[in-house]
Amino acid sequence: MAQKGEFDIIREFFQRPVADAGVHLGIGDDAALLAVPAGHELVVSTDTLVAGRHFPEATAPFDIGWKALAVNLSDLAAMGARARWVTLALTLPDSDEDFLREFSRGLFALAEREQVSLVGGDTTRGPLALTVTALGDVPLGAALKRSGARVGDDLYVSGTVGDAGLGLRLELGQWLDEIAPAAAEFALQRLRRPEPRLGLGFALRGVATACLDVSDGLAQDLGHLLAASRTGAVLELDWLPRSAALAGIEPAFADVLALTSGDDYELLFTAPPSARERLAALPVTRIGRMTEVPGLQLWRGGNPVEMPVAGFTHF
């Protein structure tokens, strides 16, 4: 089979009609021309995924496409932004058409659902790697940052945490005997097809005082929020929202997964207690509060407990 050139690849797999008045010029010129509405800021986030490092070599191409976009949209969600545009730099070992077809299907499945337009990109030859840059907009001054948490604020997380971590263990062939098939399927889905919480990020504008997405593990990402906001936090372990899949494993391991495993792409945020009623309508769980005492304290039933993380860092 003849190797496809760069332009053929782009035309066949990545050029789609764009229905966005803000795209003055999309794929096909030297650069895209994009219009941000008056009174808004451009929000930009980029992430690189390398095969064998950020996803197993054997990952289904559809899932690679989906996830490469999802992790970037998750960053826009964490800023409270509206996701609008995306560029893709794709490094491929060869122009494998089956891969490209499935990869672009996965990418566009999410992009079209979220009404995000692919407006540019690049393809090069080399070991499989993808860089996605997501662009969005947010009204001036309305973006959610990591730095706004105040002492006395409540701490929340969306959805459930630890599922993708369980999925990764299953993918590595661990714990297969202990997990029911439906739970395993759920955990693998959470790992492979993360859901960017764009609608939630939107809803948190004007409510959350600080926000980020959980990509590296709740404890670690919370550390970034604490550092940026110069506060500490008390986190009640028993309040951590866990899926039924996580309920099926030993509680000590479930704690570790919920606190340290990455890839859940939930939103972690703070809000004043006066916002509790408003937040009750959203898929979020209050898990603690912000303190003057620096650092992260884990509590169980109102009492401090040892960090279960330390002994498990390379587990």
Q: Which residues are at the interface with Mg ion (CB under 5 A)?
A: 75, 213
Closer residue to Mg ion (CB): 78 or 275: 78
In the structure encoding, which two tokens stand for residue 101, read together? 């077809």
User: Minimum distance from CB of 132 to Mg ion (Å)?
Assistant: 13
Closer residue to Mg ion (CB): 45 or 160: 45
Closer residue to Mg ion (CB): 4 or 197: 197
- Three-state DSSP state, 83: strand
Closer residue to Mg ion (CB): 186 or 269: 269
Cβ neighbours of residue 244 closer than 8 Å, sequence gap 6 or more: 183, 186
Cβ neighbours of residue 13 closer than 8 Å, sequence gap 6 or more: 100, 101, 103, 104
User: Minimum distance from CB of 215 to Mg ion (Å)?
Assistant: 5
User: Minimum distance from CB of 125 to Mg ion (Å)?
Assistant: 30
- Is residue 222 within 8 Å of residue 270, measured between CB atoms? no
User: Minimum distance from CB of 157 to Mg ion (Å)?
Assistant: 14
User: Minimum distance from CB of 46 to Mg ion (Å)?
Assistant: 11
User: Minimum distance from CB of 79 to Mg ion (Å)?
Assistant: 9
Closer residue to Mg ion (CB): 154 or 213: 213
- Three-state DSSP state, 289: strand
- Residue 190 one-letter amino acid: R
The closest of 139, 157, 162 to 257, measured between CA atoms, is: 162
Q: Report the distance separating Cα 38 and Cα 43, nearest Å.
A: 14
- Is residue 248 within 8 Å of residue 180, measured between CB atoms? yes
Closer residue to Mg ion (CB): 213 or 255: 213
Classify residue 179 as exposed, middle or buried by CB count within 10 Å of its CB (0-12, 13-18, 19+).
buried
CA 77 to chain centre: 8
User: Minimum distance from CB of 75 to Mg ion (Å)?
Assistant: 4
Closer residue to Mg ion (CB): 75 or 266: 75
- Residue 110 one-letter amino acid: L
User: Minimum distance from CB of 88 to Mg ion (Å)?
Assistant: 19
Closer residue to Mg ion (CB): 211 or 235: 211
Phi-psi category of 162—alpha, beta or left, where left has phi over 0 and alpha has psi -120 to 50?
left
Bridge pairing between strands 232-236 and 117-125: unpaired
Q: Report the distance separating Cα 118 and Cα 27, nearest Å.
A: 8
